[in-house]
Amino acid sequence: MSRGVLVVVSGFSGAGKGTVMKRLLEKYDNYALSISVTTRKPRPGEEDGREYFFRTKEEFEKFIEEDALIEYAQYVENYYGTPRFYVEEQLAAGKDVILEIEIQGAMKVKERNPEAVLVFVTPPTVEELKRRLTERGTETPEVIAERLARASEEAEGMHHYDYLLINDVLEECVDDLHQIIQSEHARSWRNKEFISRIQEESRQFK
Ligand code: 5GP
């Protein structure tokens, strides 16, 4: 069985990434979504071990010391990190693993895993972004302002991503993401063993 594809999805806060991921997992098999550790407090309706592993700063620092995180970053006063164990296990089992992380973490993952595929999700306009963040109603106006400021910083790094995904119509966005990941499986450098076998077999006709 071949190793799964490591997919990093980033996007502005409020770009609808969470909804896209949820739908992708409902609609297609073979995806595993990594659950991050964070020091942020749970939002109403969020559960420990489902959206995130909610931990204290001390606990988070212990994970760093133990090298238990693939990457971590600070985002608007909180730490977020990707636990290593689950990602490795799922990739080895042939699952395509999705990390939904911000840009600093995405760049670290790409540096250490050049085979990872980086996708940036954006709403069609910045106005739409502001509207979505405000309508979600889970953040204070100050936090919304900080997140919009952060969006402007992240926009500077969009060109480092392999693919850009515009989240306008949800179902289309989900199918496009699925297609991108599926195409990655067909890349010749991901199929070295298959190529060797075909080359070997075809030599008999020389
Ligand atoms: P939120 O607080 O809205 O759930 O997430 C804030 C930001 O942190 C989002 O851009 C999200 O993608 C990012 N994030 C979530 N988990 C991780 C992680 O494990 N590592 C990094 N670097 N960013 C993360």
Higher-confidence residue of 170 and 144: namely 170
**pLDDT tens digits, residue range 108-145?**
999 999 999 999 999 888 888 888 888 888 888 898 88
Atom of ligand 1 minimally distant from the CA of 11 = 10
Q: Is the dihedral of CA 58, 63, 64, 66 positive or negative?
A: positive
Please compute the mean of the pLDDT values over residues 30-48 and round it to a whole number.
Answer: 96
Distance CA 28, CA 23 (A): 8
- For residues 118 and 163, the answer to whether their CB atoms sit within 8 Å is yes
Distance 200 CA to ligand 1 centre (A): 46
Please compute the mean of the pLDDT values over residues 194-202 and round it to a whole number.
Answer: 96
Continuous H helices in 28-80? 57-65
Distance CA 46, CA 64 (A): 24
pLDDT higher than threshold 90 for residue 188: yes
Ligand 1 pocket residue status of 68, Cβ below 6 Å? no
Distance 7 CA to ligand 1 centre (A): 15
At 67, is the secondary structure helix, strand, or coil? coil
pTM reported for the whole predicted model: 0.91
Which range among 5-19, 124-138, 160-174 shows the weakest confidence by mean pLDDT? 124-138
Distance CA 179, CA 5 (A): 13
Distance 35 CA to ligand 1 centre (A): 10
- Residue whose CA lies nearest to ligand 1 atom number 12: 101
pLDDT higher than threshold 80 for residue 17: yes
- Residue whose CA lies nearest to ligand 1 atom number 15: 101
Ligand 1 pocket residue status of 82, Cβ below 6 Å? yes
- For residues 91 and 97, the answer to whether their CB atoms sit within 8 Å is yes
